[in-house]
Amino acid sequence: MSSAYHPEKVEREAQEYWRGTRCFEVAEEPGKEKFYCLTMFPYPSGKLHMGHVRVFTISDVIARYQRMRGKHVMQPMGWDAFGMPAENAAIQRGVPPAEWTYRNIDDMREQMQRLGYAYDWAREITTCRPEYYRWEQWLFTRMFRKGLVYRKNSIVNWDPVDETVLANEQVIDGRGWRSNALVERREIPQWFMKITAYADELLAELDRMPGWPESVKTMQRNWIGRSEGLELGFEVEGTNEPLEVFTTRPDTLMGVTYMAVAAEHPLAARAAKQDPDIATFVEECKKTAAAEAALETMEKKGVPLGISATHPLTGERVPLWVANFVLMSYGTGAVMGVPGHDERDWEFAKKHGLPIVQVIAPADGREIDIQAGAFVEHGILVNSGEYDGLNFEAACDAIAAHFEDSGRGRRAINYRLRDWGVSRQRYWGAPIPIVYCDQCDAVPVPDDQLPVVLPEDVEFTGVGSPLKDMPEFLEATCPECGRPARRETDTFDTFVESSWYFARYACPDSDQAMLDARAAYWMPVDQYTGGIEHAILHLLYSRFIQRVMRDEGLSAASEPFTNLLTQGMVLKDGAKMSKAKGNTVDPHALVEKYGADTVRLFMIFTAPPEQALEWSDDGVKGSFRFLNRFWTSVQAHAESGLATPVDPDTLDTAQRDLRRKTHQTIAKISDDIGRRYTFNTAVAAAMELLNSVNRFDDSSPAGRFVVQEALDAIVLMLAPIVPHICHTLWQALGHDSALIDESWPSADDRALEQELIEIVVQVNGKLRGRISVAVDADDDTVREAALADANVQRFVADKAIRKTIVVPGRLVNVVV
């Protein structure tokens, strides 16, 4: 064995061993406790970036740790291969999206393998392959039959120059990114999945998911946004249909002074035909991007429609407006304006000179000026006729009862969550399995005609989908009546692929069913790791589709992911690493220079997984230096002859101290990795133990025994993080077995025992001294020892002691 650390050699040998023994390829073993460890699969964008390396390393540490804990671990990897970047690359380079994607996959797979992740590559999934997406097409047709998918008009960003639909990302300051034309909102028919049918279950189950971060659960709760309220109709002049609105504040109903509808609302369209000013405003409203953030931050504007609605309680007429902040896609596309008790309504009323009426007074009786600002808290009703004096609950009940009795309204539960629009007017995605027939309308493609294969050999221009120009794709026969029909050219949102891939890893080769019995063994995922940016969309869609699969009898699990770890971004100079900012660091170059273990160690040591990680070239060097010290320490110990076991009872104080440190470190790192997921502090503890070993100078048999025990423990505990160097060092320490088959060490309680402990002494909460006392000393003994300390005496002196607080094993605080 050479004495210097050569990572490329060490890493090649370890990886050859793992490949030769196929130790990460696993099959179902019903007797064993399984552990399914999954990372959010990457989009094959070209090369691995540091964000990938970080999340893969975090997940790999967990997988390897659980394996050492005796679990039967499955860790797969695959490719979220459909998406816009392939189309953009195709336009820029003239390469078909498929070719570009497959080439990237090959490059990235090779880079991943160089990093030594414990993946079962036999399960690799590529979502743009027909053998994968045929099953989501199949599930879509099942959902069609159950009424869980439907078609309706919805709004997209329309680039009037390129005549194409733009993603929100492609709209910059309200303009198309290529044409620079002002983007318009346009309505087109699109397919929707009825996630709202599962809203209650998706919400309720969050309370029974202890393995998810509270922040993510809160975000999902707020996103689903369940609210209880009243649905009621306002009669509008010139129409027979009442204008339906939903409110969570029926108690403020008497304060309604206007109504507002969305620009796309039929009442606005009707008024626009009569009045050119309204038409101009409605057109202007449509010239904004569809993203909610854009709508919510723009100036609140509106114009009166010149018609009025009748207040359902007072019979008074309130004016009807069209306003740019009312969204057609939320609820009914209409809202009632209560400026006295809603901030946004208040501002709108002030701006347009609409009346502001106070109908709620503070419960504590204080005076408020409603003209100076909205009062949004719950309170007591005033100016509300027969409802005066009621509190929030009583008023809501009374008013709801009134509407229910008269049949003009009803108590209702409303969700902020909207159904999932899955249609994309793009080429590089999974075809939506529908054919359109003049006689039979939209007909799902029958099972025996699936998959609907996306042609990969295309000329891609970026203007419209090439599928529209391909008769061999477009032309179909109606499955119901046999007449000529036309195939759907829209493709699925790529979130459809990523909403079920986790289950498919259990049986990637199943060609008879979407999932088979193997999924029952592996699902749910025990540990899911990925970016916090997916806290809502991807994770909520996955929870939805998992339930659809459950209800289809494909999987018993309701929740796909038992434990969730959301890792932070990789930053450099305070900003996210990105090509656009030009602050990327190529992982490949670093692996070439320092080896995979150094890169893995840096990723793990520099920050806790959930936090953003600030890149540092010097930090990488520091990790490399540590591995060199580690290597040298183990080799030096091994070269001078390995130790033989010694009876721990015969150790002297220094030997016992090192042994205690070893076992304290085992306890700490087990807790850090197994419970706390603070891998950075686990590494710090291992470094501390190695520092203790290097300071320890005792070549007696007993001394060599405690050193060997410490080094064995460090190698075992760093194995999940830096598996290659540990593989080699384990052999150097004289073990015949392969490290990959070793178990996690356990702390020996007897080694942890100690006689004296240090206690901190405070006077009035300020640190004034430290004392050493017997570990089992009682409070009085500790208090006396504390007061006897010379520096403590200086501060206590002749002052009266008011009380003394003794925190056993920690501190004494003397209050004078």
Measured at the CA of 405, the angle between CA 402 and CA 406, to 5 degrees, comes to 85
Among 101, 126, 190, 465, binds RNA (CB under 7 A): 190
Helices within 298-409 (DSSP H only): 343-352, 392-406
Is 626 one of the binding residues for RNA (CB under 7 A)?
yes
Among 11, 80, 342, 712, binds RNA (CB under 7 A): 80
Is 700 one of the binding residues for RNA (CB under 7 A)?
no
Q: Which of 638, 775, 786 is nearest to 712 (CA)?
A: 638
Please, which of residues 353-412 interact with RNA by CB under 7 A?
none
- Residue 803 DSSP class: E
Is 52 one of the binding residues for RNA (CB under 7 A)?
no
Is 681 one of the binding residues for RNA (CB under 7 A)?
yes
Among 120, 526, 672, 709, binds RNA (CB under 7 A): 672
- DSSP symbols for 723-747: HHHHHHHHHHTT--S-GGGPPPP--
Nearest residue (CB) to RNA, 652 versus 758 = 758
643 neighbors 701 (Cβ within 8 angstroms): yes
Q: Which of 424, 425, 422, 443 is nearest to 434 (CA)?
A: 443
Nearest residue (CB) to RNA, 437 versus 607 = 607
Measured CA to CA, the distance from residue 77 to residue 27 in angstroms comes to: 16
Is 768 one of the binding residues for RNA (CB under 7 A)?
yes
What are the Cα distances from residue 154, in Å, to 267, 292, 321, 327, 421?
A: 18, 14, 22, 12, 8
Is 204 one of the binding residues for RNA (CB under 7 A)?
no
- Residue 47 DSSP class: S
Smallest gap from residue 434 Cβ to RNA (A): 15
Smallest gap from residue 482 Cβ to RNA (A): 31
Smallest gap from residue 487 Cβ to RNA (A): 18
Please, which of residues 410-449 interact with RNA by CB under 7 A?
416-418, 420-421, 423-426
Is 657 one of the binding residues for RNA (CB under 7 A)?
no
Is 606 one of the binding residues for RNA (CB under 7 A)?
yes
Is 59 one of the binding residues for RNA (CB under 7 A)?
no
Is 694 one of the binding residues for RNA (CB under 7 A)?
yes
Q: Following CA atoms 41, 46, 52, 57 in sequence, which dihedral angle do they give, to the nearest 10 degrees?
A: 90
Measured CA to CA, the distance from residue 322 to residue 375 in angstroms comes to: 24
Q: Is the bond preceding 479 in cis, omega lying within 30 degrees of 0? A: no
Among 197, 687, 732, 738, binds RNA (CB under 7 A): 687
Nearest residue (CB) to RNA, 146 versus 416 = 416
Q: Which of 540, 416, 463, 447 is nearest to 166 (CA)?
A: 463
Phi, psi of 486 (to 5 degrees): -120, 135
Among 25, 29, 169, 200, binds RNA (CB under 7 A): 169
Binding mask 220-259 for RNA (x = CB under 7 A): --xx------------------------------------
Please, which of residues 485-544 interact with RNA by CB under 7 A?
493-495, 498, 531-538
- Span between the terminal Cα atoms of the chain, in Å: 65
Nearest residue (CB) to RNA, 220 versus 358 = 220
Is 292 one of the binding residues for RNA (CB under 7 A)?
yes
Is 719 one of the binding residues for RNA (CB under 7 A)?
no
Instruction: For 291-353, list the strands marked E by DSSP.
Output: 302-310, 317-323, 334-337
Is 286 one of the binding residues for RNA (CB under 7 A)?
no
Among 5, 24, 35, 43, binds RNA (CB under 7 A): 43
Which region among 108-116, 165-173, 438-446, 510-518 touches RNA (by CB under 7 A)? 165-173
- Residue 73 DSSP class: E
Which region among 128-136, 215-223, 280-288, 651-659 touches RNA (by CB under 7 A)? 215-223
Q: Which of 399, 334, 333, 309 is nearest to 360 (CA)?
A: 399
Which region among 355-363, 655-663, 711-719, 806-814 touches RNA (by CB under 7 A)? 806-814
- Count the site residues for RNA by CB under 7 A: 101
